[in-house]
Structures are given as C-alpha cells and as structure tokens.
Structure 1
Amino acid sequence: MSHSQMDAEQEGVDTSQNTPAYTLWQMVLYMLRLGALGFGGPVALVAYMQRDLVEQRGWISPADYKEGLALAQLAPGPLAAQLGIYMGYVHYRIRGATLAGIAFVLPSFLMVVVLGWAYVSYGGLAWMQAVFYGVGAAVVGIIIMSTRKLTQKSIGKDKLLWAIYLLLATLTFITETEIAWLFIASGVLVWLLRAPPAWLKWRGGGKLHGLTLLQFPVIGSLLSTQDASLLTQIAIFFAKAGAFVFGSGLAIVPFLYGGVVTEHHWLSDKQFVDAVAVAMITPGPVVITVGFIGYLVAGLPGAAVAALATFLPCYLFTVIPAPYFKKYGKLPGVIAFVDGITAAAIGAIAGSVLLIAKRSIVDVPTAIIAVLSIVLLWKFKKLQEPVIIVAAAVLGLLIYPLLHS
C-alpha cells in the first residue's frame, strides 16, 4: 500500500473508489445550505439530494444514492437525516458522515431554538397559523413534484416494482402509518424473484422477514422514565423516538404526541400543534421539531438534549451497517433486495403525500396555492423552492385573517 493510500485511509477517505470529485468541505457546505434552505420535508429533501448530488454535480453515483436511500428506509429514524449522513459517508467515511450530519441538522436546530425563545418570551406565535395555512398548501405542491421525480428515477417501467409501490402507497394512505416489515418483505420478494440464491429453498425463503423490527416499540416501552430527572426523561424519551420509529420525519409526529402531550403532559394540544407547524415552516428535517419541544419543556438544555437524543440513534443506525452495504451492495441478490426496499419506501412516501394533502388542503385558497406551486415548479425548472415558500407565507398572512376574522 502506498503512503498516499495509507494517509487517505487515516483521514477517513474511501480508497476503494476513484478520487471523489469534491472535497469533504464542499459536501459539508452543501449540507449546511440544504439544512438552511431545504423546504418541503423528508420527501423533498431526499429528492433535492438526488437532483443536486447525483444528477447535477455527479458527486454521488446513482447506485450509492439508491443504497443510501434503502439503508435510510430500513433503519429507524428520520429518513432525510440518515440519507444526508450516508452521503457524507460514501467517500469520507466516519468523518464525512459525522460532519455532514451535523451540518444538515444545525441550521434548522438554531432556527427552532430562536423560535422557541420567541414563543416562550412573547406568549405564542399567533401569526404562525396564518403562515402555515399558506406554507402547508405550498409544501403539498413541492412534495408532489419531488415524489414524481423519485418515482420516475427509481421505479421506471418495472411492473413488479410498480406493484410494490402502489401497494405500499395504498396501505400507507389507508392505515395512516408506515408498516415497517413490509419494506423488508418487499426486498425479500424481489430478491427471491430476481436473484434467488441456489441454497435457498422456496419453502424456507419466507422465513426471512423483518417482524423483529416491530418488537422495537415494545422494547422501548420497557424503558421507564418515572424516577428520572427532567433532562434524563427528555433524553430517554427522545432516544426512543429516534431509535424505535420507522419511516420519514413525519412518522415521528404521532409518537411524539403520545409521549409529550398524553403521557408526560409536557405540552398542551395547542403547543404541540404549534411545534409541528414550526417544523413545517422551517427548512431542514421535519423531525427537528424535537428541538422546539425540548426548548418549551426545559429551555436550551432541553432543546440540545432532545435533538441529540433523537439524532444519535439514526447516526449509529447509518454508519454501523454502512460498510456492509458498501462491500456487498453490488451483489445481484443485494441489488434486487435494495430495489424492492426502494420501491416500497417511495410507495410509502407517496401515500404520506396524500395524507399531508388531505390535512393541508382545507379549502379553495389552499387548493389554488398547491396547484400554483405544482404549475410553477413544472414550468420553471430552475425555480428555487424557498421562493415558493416565502410567497405562500405572504399569501397565508393575507388570506387567513380574511377567512377567520
């Protein structure tokens, strides 16, 4: 091994591939920008990464992106944050994953802390309902366009993947939840049909599934927080949220409501709804709402503990299995498995889009804002999403008071 290779490995650079076309700091700056300007929630954020890192800049290969998306969907925790961590890992390993993850989360964390301070200091954010009225509708348009692109790129014209995609989209919409073991089952199905191993008998193949994943919430419920200090209670609860909730950042909302409002009585219903609204009107991962909740419960220490406890499990669930995805990801069986997982993941995302639309499109003005967002993004390919978000916020501030005076 040459000295340059040894030095590169000591620095955490992946020497198994060609020299990356970007520096680690370019990736960190990209993640900072995405965390500061990336609106639209997990669906839009993962689509931005595909557009920017794979299609436009060529930093990440389509295969690496697909592996990262599949791994992010396989593991519990927020989808976009895990994919961002994996993008940093691809060429710069642990150091890249760590810095990319911090850079992605930090801007929105700082924003929600400032909003939390304003909320506590000034007795709530009455204007937020008006802003969210417009922004929520625009977000629907943004994520519809993002999901369309993800579907075209990853599903194509493959009939088997389309069947899985439509099944998961339908089930997600009907049940209003993402069924974790179906992601695993989809991967196994495509694996068995496309690249079955010689030693695997059909009769025994059905034994490989992800039902054990469903036991995670049961394990989590065994962690008692009754006798702990407030910050310790926050740490344990939000660690469970990060470690035991599958799906996108939006999937964590029902879990948080059950613990924050119903179990611990840390927030009222109105405060919790405001917290979710803050997550939706700020860029970056939706799950950063945990920082706002933590601030309302225990100030800046509460915000920091809640955010760290939520994101640490998803970081570990990404970097620990990542080497095995990199090592074995090119095998036909793994490729087939990843294709199945990806189809299921994007199908579930599509179902979530319909759920968000159902809750955000509440009248004619919101429907018009959503349609306008779609038309503008369709017609003007280079139009930046933050421009639409700002315009929608202004429309919300103008229209909402007229309808609710």
Structure 2
Amino acid sequence: MNTPENTPALPRYSLWQIVRYMLALGTWGFGGPVALVGYMYRDLVEKRGWITEGDYKEGMALAQLMPGPLAAQLAIYLGYVHYRVLGATLVGIAFVLPSFLMVVAIGAAYAAFGGIGWMQAVFYGVGASVIGIIAMSAYKLTTKNIGKDKLLWAIFAVSAAVTVVTKSEVIWIFLGAGVLVWLLRAPPKWLARGQANSIAAPLAAFFAIDNLDWHKLGQLGAYFAYAGSFVFGSGLAIVPFLYGGVVQEYHWLNDRQFVDAVAVAMITPGPVVITTGFIGYLVSGFWGATVAAAATFIPCYLFTILPAPYFKKHGKRPGIVAFVDGVTAAAIGAITGAVVVIGQRSISDVATAALALITVAVLWRFKKLPEPVVVAVAAIAGLVLYPLSHA
C-alpha cells in the first residue's frame, strides 16, 4: 500500500507542456550546451518548479557520465522524469528538430551560393555575446549547487582548470569526483568493515559500432554514430573529433567548409553538435543530413533512457546522492572552464570583449530579458563592427 512518503509526486505539467517548452528552447536557445543546460535549470527548476533540484542534478550527472551531447541528454532525461520513455522520446525530438531544419536550410543555401561570407560578421558579434550568456549561466549553476561547500569548491576548481588546460571535458574527473565525495560522505558498509567486495556499476556497454563499408550514406551513418558514442561532454569536445574524421580522414570537407559548419552550429539555436546535419548535407544532400544527425543523436538517446530507471530507483540513496554531488561539482567546474576556452576563440579584440561584458551587464540588470533578443542585437552589432575592425 502506498503512503504519502513513498507515493511519487504527480507532475505539475503535462507531457505537451514540456514538449512545447523543449521545442521552443530548440528554436530560440542560443549559446551552446553550457547556456542550454542553464536555461533548463532557470526555467524548469527555478521558475516553473516542474523539475526538482534532485532530478535536475541526477540528469546533469548522467549527461556528464554518458557519451554524447550534454544538453540533448539532459533534455531527454528531464522528459523521462515524469513521462518515462514516451516523454524522453518526444522531448528529444522536439529539442533537436528545429535546429536540424535550420541547418538543412542553411546547408541548401550554402551549397547553392557557394559559401557564407556574411556569417563571419554575424558570428563576430554573436560569438562574443554568447560568452556573456554562458558566463551568467555558469555563475547561477555555481552559486546554486556548490554554495559554501569547501570540498565541492575544490572539485569545481580542479575540473575548471583541467578543462582550460586540455580544452575538453575529461570523464575521469567526473567519475573521480563522484567517487571521492561518495567515499568521504557516505562510505559504503563494506569499506567501513575493511572488506574488499567489488561493486558492479555498469554505465554503458553499447559503444561498438562497425565502420560499415557501404556507399557514402553508410559511411556517414557509421562515422557519426561512432562520434556520438565515444565523445563525452559537449560540442566543445566533439568539434576537434569531427575535424579529424571529416577533413583529415574521409576528406568530405575542406578546412574552410568545416569552419563554416562550426559557425553554422554556433549561430543557430539548439545543440552545437547539430553541425553534423550541416556536414551531412554538404556531403550527400538532405538524406546525408538526416543520416548524420540521426546517427549522432540516437546513441545519446539510448545512453540516457537505458540507465535512467536505475538513477530514478536508486538515486536517493546517500551514496548515490554523494556521488551525484561530486559529479555535479566537477561538471559545473568544466562548464566554467569552457567559458574560458570558448572565450579565447570568440573574444579577439576590444569590440568583442566589450560585447561580452555588455551582455553580462544587461542580463544581470534585466533578468527577464529573453536571450534571443540579446543574440539578435549582437548579430546586428557584428554586421556593423566586423567590417570596421577588419578594414
């Protein structure tokens, strides 16, 4: 018999409401994975109260531990929280579909007119503004989840430093942080008794993907499924990985085309790894875009919904809570470090530095100002300032 203590809380929202939210976020959510996970926290945890702090932290931990794009996996997990596999599936599609359609349209224009010269000017402004948006998201996550906890601050600092130095997110930092906090704050009984029983905690075992020797669509599907299965963290990590395969190994694109593909992903809303759809379009048209995008996101979908029931069932145990706290601190540190890494690439002169600082100041002062408005103004500023600074 269920009691009030063990009866799951009914959701405060409908399945359609969260699907509609993710569709809107995929349409207007600029800033890449760091900003997107910040928007989800602000909107779904702080403003609406649809998702609890604990469920959000579990989703962040799972997204960091599993390979694939961070923001998409977190969105899928949040869809799973109350509506299980159907919610995860519909939310995942809603989150990715808008940006996919955008990059296909841009890919068609790119192929028809031979390059996107004006995009450099737009990205000049948008890229700098996005740094301000990401910085504000990182600040909110840090103050809310770490507080005055010295151990979590130490983990945060190490993770941020490693991210800045290596320019990528290191999975062993997340795992090590989780284990450290678990052992220090909720040590298992076998450890207290001095026993050496092994603990089985499988995370994922679905990495093996054959590099099929088919026509070009087969190659695209195999390569991008491989990329989606082995790259941890976010678009920050997958970009150099894609460069090695797309440009250097398969020679599908040249350097200029690849840079343009990354720019397309950065100035369109939604997950940064949707650049795979743009690349697929340049290689093999609409079906190339479809195969490349699907192959990238299907692994991250599976790596989210398969372990999700175990996170939901066992996530409230003290050892799991401590582990998740450690992983979350490391994840936020990596996000903060990513601000520095991306900033080094996007802030190139006084004008871009000023745009980033102005964005922070505006978002600090006007907390309800929609980010798309900020991004639109930054794009216009880029169109004006870029010719002046590159005259």
How far does the alpha carbon of each residue in 1:182-205 deviate from its partner, in whole angstroms, 9 at most, with x for none? 211110000000000111269888
Aligned residue number for residue 242 of structure 1: 228
Alpha-carbon contact 1:173-1:351 (below 8 Å) kept: yes
What RMSD, in angstroms, separates the aligned Cα atoms of the two structures?
2.2
Is the aligned partner of 1:278 residue 2:264? yes
Residue 17 of structure 1 deviates from its aligned partner by 1.5
Q: For 1:200, what is the secondary structure of its paired residue?
A: helix
Structure 2 counterpart of 1:274, one-letter code? D
**Of 18-27 and 303-312, the range deviating more from structure 2:** 18-27
Residue 250 of structure 1 deviates from its aligned partner by 2.0
Q: What are the ranges of 5 or more consecutive residues in structure 2 without an aligned counterpart?
A: none
Query: Which residue of 28, 32, 38 corresponds with 1:47?
Result: 38
Aligned residue number for residue 323 of structure 1: 309
Distance 1:175 1:100 in 2: 32
Aligned residue number for residue 63 of structure 2: 72
Kindly tell me: are residues 294 and 140 of structure 1, through their superposed partners in 2, closer, same or farther at Cα, counting changes over 3 Å?
A: same
Q: For 1:199, what is the secondary structure of its paired residue?
A: helix
Runs of 4+ aligned residues of structure 1 deviating over 4 Å after TM superposition are: 201-213
How far does the alpha carbon of each residue in 1:36-62 deviate from its partner, in whole angstroms, 9 at most, with x for none? 000111111101111111111111111
Aligned residue number for residue 390 of structure 1: 376
TM-score norm. by structure 2 comes to 0.95
Is the aligned partner of 1:299 residue 2:285? yes
Report the count of equivalent residues.
388
Kindly tell me: are residues 165 and 209 of structure 1, through their superposed partners in 2, closer, same or farther at Cα, counting changes over 3 Å?
A: farther
Structure 2 counterpart of 1:357, one-letter code? G
Residue 180 of structure 1 deviates from its aligned partner by 1.0
Residue 216 of structure 1 deviates from its aligned partner by 9.3
Query: Which residue of 123, 130, 155 corresponds with 1:132?
Result: 123
How far does the alpha carbon of each residue in 1:117-157 deviate from its partner, in whole angstroms, 9 at most, with x for none? 00001111110000001100001010000000011111111
Aligned residue number for residue 378 of structure 1: 364
Residue 401 of structure 1 deviates from its aligned partner by 1.3
Kindly tell me: are residues 298 and 192 of structure 1, through their superposed partners in 2, closer, same or farther at Cα, counting changes over 3 Å?
A: same
Query: Which residue of 133, 158, 162 corresponds with 1:167?
Result: 158
Alpha-carbon contact 1:181-1:209 (below 8 Å) kept: no
Kindly tell me: are residues 205 and 112 of structure 1, through their superposed partners in 2, closer, same or farther at Cα, counting changes over 3 Å?
A: farther
Alpha-carbon contact 1:250-1:287 (below 8 Å) kept: no
Distance 2:100 2:198 in 1: 42
Residue 228 of structure 1 deviates from its aligned partner by 2.1
Is the aligned partner of 1:364 residue 2:350? yes
Q: What are the ranges of 5 or more consecutive residues in structure 1 without an aligned counterpart?
A: 3-14
Residue 206 of structure 1 deviates from its aligned partner by 12
Kindly tell me: are residues 284 and 85 of structure 1, through their superposed partners in 2, closer, same or farther at Cα, counting changes over 3 Å?
A: same
Is the aligned partner of 1:231 residue 2:185? no
Is the aligned partner of 1:33 residue 2:24? yes
Aligned residue number for residue 244 of structure 2: 258
Kindly tell me: are residues 399 and 205 of structure 1, through their superposed partners in 2, closer, same or farther at Cα, counting changes over 3 Å?
A: farther
Residue 329 of structure 1 deviates from its aligned partner by 0.4
Alpha-carbon contact 2:66-2:203 (below 8 Å) kept: no
TM-score norm. by structure 1 comes to 0.92
How far does the alpha carbon of each residue in 1:320-370 deviate from its partner, in whole angstroms, 9 at most, with x for none? 000000000000000000000111111111111100011111001001101
Alpha-carbon contact 2:18-2:91 (below 8 Å) kept: yes
Query: Which residue of 338, 347, 354 corresponds with 1:352?
Result: 338
Indicate the percent of aligned positions where both proteins have the same amino acid: 65
Kindly tell me: are residues 270 and 308 of structure 1, through their superposed partners in 2, closer, same or farther at Cα, counting changes over 3 Å?
A: same
Query: Which residue of 119, 132, 145 corresponds with 1:141?
Result: 132
